[in-house]
Structure 1
């Protein structure tokens, strides 16, 4: 294993003096990916090529299937980096590595782990198998393999003792007439993530509205991108309608049935889950950036649009004087949560 790691370091040092992959190479690879049925990864490769491929003159890419994209949503840039290795790794090279060998990625400080053995019929990384018997694309500098699903950057990392799981049962908990949010310090990383991904207006709302709230609960924020909130927004209800009082990762959302209603911190405003051509929609708005940020108590998903009030939500708001009213309780007590 030490020899494998040394070889990787030597290759990286040599490759640092070479030219980056050309745009023609990326376009050719994307076209072949699309023709091979990896349409989502082909489109993604074209979108991120200027960001990721300039970091390395050679790459091995592990491409998840379209079904994986449909199930998990569009990956974050950091997750994509975890699927890019800055070394050309032909199939025979992968087969020659011993179980447990670490393979570098473009995600700083993160490596893939070879989990298959010489006796296995297919190579696996982080317990995810390569689906194709040969590379989808291989020109010597860029090699692409198909894999069953997205690779987990937390593979092999023991979960913290007492770490909370997702809590898809949503309830609002008014305290002294005021809705309780987690403490401000819990959200510094979330605000930074929002700002770095083009959601600075929602990040500012997050910072401002949390002042004075001390109760620690779980919550999910559906953040509209800045372009959809171009004008300064002073109405706090715009922020509150995008906050759900429970932690919902992408896997939780996709497992909800059509018609499932999520309560929010905006009095009477609810979010209805539906699907259009297998795309999950929230009040008619698709999730663009799933799991942008998540921690033990908070999940942030990115949207391209502001969530608009549906007729049902507007009627509930008009007939409900406050949290705890009959209309609100009928939503919160639904056993789907």
Structure 2
């Protein structure tokens, strides 16, 4: 894979425009007020201080708020440690429950991820072996805040049965006994139950039985993004081919890609440009909403905030003229 990746030396203007809708200051202060009323006084005050520096750089975020006793024990955290407690994603309880143990959650500290450590017997979500409050202390759909009883450890590591990213980062072919139907059935079921039915239909109708020796990666926009972009998705397979990379890449593989890396897709002539904006990893200007939404030994699926378009491309109301429904 490394030999096929080209490097660019600029961030396209559409990357900036796609991320320009930052969290409103009012939402941050509302969250701080709720934290104050909920007994998280230290984090409430800290949130107000760092709001402009950190949270207002992202269109959405999840805050993991340490308790007052954690602040008393550890003292005022550094800016880097605070960034480690902020994820540039709106992680709802339902989305967190879908994440399997070992899944990495990106943070606002560049190059550092949190790790899901929830086991099948746990009722509460656990990250870096620290349980979150069962429900968010604050949730307005874009900014969510969970309570934790101590600070996350920057040096946390876990021994997991999760497949090693090193064996897949080059997308080398490997032997597998998994049947193609089994490979897709599990992915389709997960997509259908997580608001990605359009992409699930595409996998079922167009890609079943077609698995590259090195696997595939699917960047899955939610149904509302798909429908608002192209209308009747069943007629436009080429739209979906641009969201599928002929190589299985887990989130840990993606975060190790260099800025300007180009990922080839199943749509001839269409590549996905990997860049970072304020430490947030984006693909053709679109951030990942749900890393490692699904993965097995042949398929990896990542939920994205919007459809992937080429630079300057839009999807007009007469989008049906852009696609040949019989080209697949």
Contact 2:290 2:303 in 1 (8 A): yes
CA contact (8 A) 1:166 1:252 kept: no
Q: What are the superposed Cα offsets for residues 164-220 of structure 1, whole Å, 9 maximum, x if unpaired? A: 855223589xxxxxxxxx712112221122122211111111111123436653111
Count of aligned pairs between the two proteins: 215
The alpha-carbon distance between structure 1 residues 66 and 206, as it changes in their structure 2 partners (threshold 3 A), is farther
Which residue of structure 1 aligns with residue 232 of structure 2? 232
Q: Give the Å deviation of 1:242.
A: 0.6
Counterpart for residue 78 of structure 1: 97
Measured in 2, the distance between the counterparts of 1:245 and 1:301 equals 14
SS at 1:198's partner residue? coil
Give how far 1:308 is off.
0.5
Going from structure 1 to structure 2, the CA distance change for 1:27 and 1:250 (only over 3 Å counts) comes to farther
- SS state at 1:256 partner: coil
Change (3 A) 1:81 1:236: closer
TM (norm. structure 2) is 0.52
SS at match of 1:227: helix
Structure 1's consecutive aligned runs of 4 or more residues displaced over 6 angstroms after TM superposition are: 69-74, 79-82
Structure 1 length-normalised TM: 0.51
Q: Which runs of 5+ in 2 are unaligned?
A: 1-32, 71-79, 102-116, 131-146, 174-178, 314-328
CA deviations 1:242-287 (Å, max 9, x no partner) are: 1111122222222222111111111111001112222111111111
1:191 is aligned to 188
What is the aligned counterpart of 1:147 among 142, 152, 160?
A: 152
Structure 1: runs of 5+ lacking an equivalent: 1-22, 47-59, 83-104, 113-124, 129-141, 173-181, 313-337
| Contact 2:295 2:301 (C-alpha < 8 Å) held by counterparts | yes
Q: Say which structure, 1 or 2, has more relative contact order (CA 8 Å, 6+ apart).
A: 2
Distance 1:29 1:205, change over 3 A: farther
CA shift in 2, pair 1:222/1:32, >3 Å: farther
8 Å CA contact 2:291, 2:303 repeated in 1: yes
Q: Secondary structure at the match of 2:62?
A: helix
Contact 1:292–1:302 (CA under 8 A) maintained in structure 2: yes
Q: How far is the alpha carbon of 1:109 from its aligned partner?
A: 1.4
RMSD of the TM alignment (CA)? Answer: 4.5
Q: Where in structure 2 are the equivalents of 1:82-101 lying within 5 Å?
A: none
Match of 2:62 in 1: 44
**Which residue in the other structure is 1:109 paired with?**
121
1:28-59 per-position Cα deviation (integer Å, ceiling 9, x unaligned) = 3577535346977x95369xxxxxxxxxxxxx
